[in-house]
Amino acid sequence: MNTLKLTMLDATKKRTIIQVGNVKVGEDFVVIAGPCSVETEEQTLITAQKVKEAGANMLRGGAFKPRTSPYSFQGLGLKGLKILEKAKKETGLPIVTEVLDPRDVSWVAEYADILQVGARNMQNFSLLKEVGKIQKPILLKRGMDSKLQEWLNCAEYILAEGNPNVILCERGIRTFETYTRNTLDLSIVPSVKETSHLPIIVDPTHSTGKLSLIAPMSLAAVAAGTDGLMIEVHYNPKEALCDKEQAMTPESFNSLMTKVFKLKTFMESL
């Protein structure tokens, strides 16, 4: 960890708290929910309303999608951002959306409350430098084959450019296991807490890729001390254009949130 300067936890043990709307990330529990990608106005607005009712305090949705195949749905781009803007107006939920290209950072930042740098771009150093030049919070996902030190070095790039507002997001790493899409590395949560002052949230959706595992791993993440969760929810998963096999229905998300909030309260009483 000796190349790290700005991301390390120092002797004061002071932790970064990032204000997003009325949520203090790092202090309040964050629940970011919404579809994998913005598809239509109806899909986004209905899903946004439902996740808000279930207790989510931020809305996610990709307008630029990093797809494995160039022939898969790539996202709606600007049109998608305008739909997210409308969803924010209607629900009051801050928007979390991914930026793929350094050339898009400044104008995507006009629509996003948090810009996501996805797992595939964790070590895109041009993108990291560009998001470091703005002050909007950055959600930096862990690369699928990245060690803690490599991940923190990427956060360091953003901080070194002048943007201190970085939230880390564990989204599973590649192992020999194929039953799950990725392997959720929950030990990274307390590992980040003992080495860095940055907040860390967990994405149980991409890390498991399996609907049946999202609820237990969300609860396990809360028990491990996560600052929040990011979960994909679609009002009609069967019709989703992206990641439909792992999208929760609003109903199952709602019952999960009841358990998450109960467990969170219990954890705080310990």
Using CA atoms, how far apart are residues 65 and 36, in angstroms rounded to an integer? 9
Structure tokens at 228: 């929040």
Choose the binding region for ligand PEP from 16-24, 47-55, 117-125, 219-227 (rule: CB under 6 A): 117-125
Residue 143 as a binder of ligand PEP (CB under 6 A): the answer is no
Residue ranges with strand state E in the chain: 18-20, 23-25, 30-34, 58-60, 95-98, 114-117, 138-141, 166-170, 200-202, 228-232
Specify the residue for token string 């994998």.
36
Beta carbon of residue 53, minimum distance to ligand PEP (angstroms, whole number): 22
Binding site for Mn ion (CB under 5 A): 36, 243
Q: Which of 18, 112, 119, 247 binds ligand PEP (CB under 6 A)?
A: 119
Choose the binding region for ligand PEP from 40-48, 78-86, 112-120, 255-263 (rule: CB under 6 A): 112-120
Give the CA radius of gyration of the chain: 17
Beta carbon of residue 98, minimum distance to ligand PEP (angstroms, whole number): 6
Q: Which residue's CB is nearer to ligand PEP, number 78 or number 267?
A: 78
Q: Which of 94, 118, 204, 228 binds ligand PEP (CB under 6 A)?
A: 118
Q: Which amino acid is at 51?
A: V
Q: Which residue's CB is nearer to ligand PEP, number 152 or number 169?
A: 169
Beta carbon of residue 249, minimum distance to ligand PEP (angstroms, whole number): 18
Residue 66 as a binder of ligand PEP (CB under 6 A): the answer is yes
Q: Which of 141, 181, 193, 197 binds ligand PEP (CB under 6 A)?
A: 141
Identify residues 219-258 at the interface with ligand PEP (CB under 6 A).
none
Structure tokens at 210: 């399996």
User: What single DSSP character describes residue 98?
Assistant: E
Q: Which of 50, 88, 181, 206 binds ligand PEP (CB under 6 A)?
A: 206
Using CA atoms, how far apart are residues 219 and 65, in angstroms rounded to an integer? 28
Q: Is 254 buried (19+), middle (13-18) or exposed (0-12) by CB count in 10 A?
A: middle
Cβ–Cβ < 8 Å for 199, 27 = no
Q: In the complex, which residue's CB is closest to ligand PEP? A: 118
Report the relative pairing of strands 166-170 and 95-98 from DSSP bridges: unpaired
User: What single DSSP character describes residue 233?
Assistant: B
| Binding residues for ligand PEP (CB under 6 A) | 36, 62, 66, 98, 118-120, 141, 171, 206
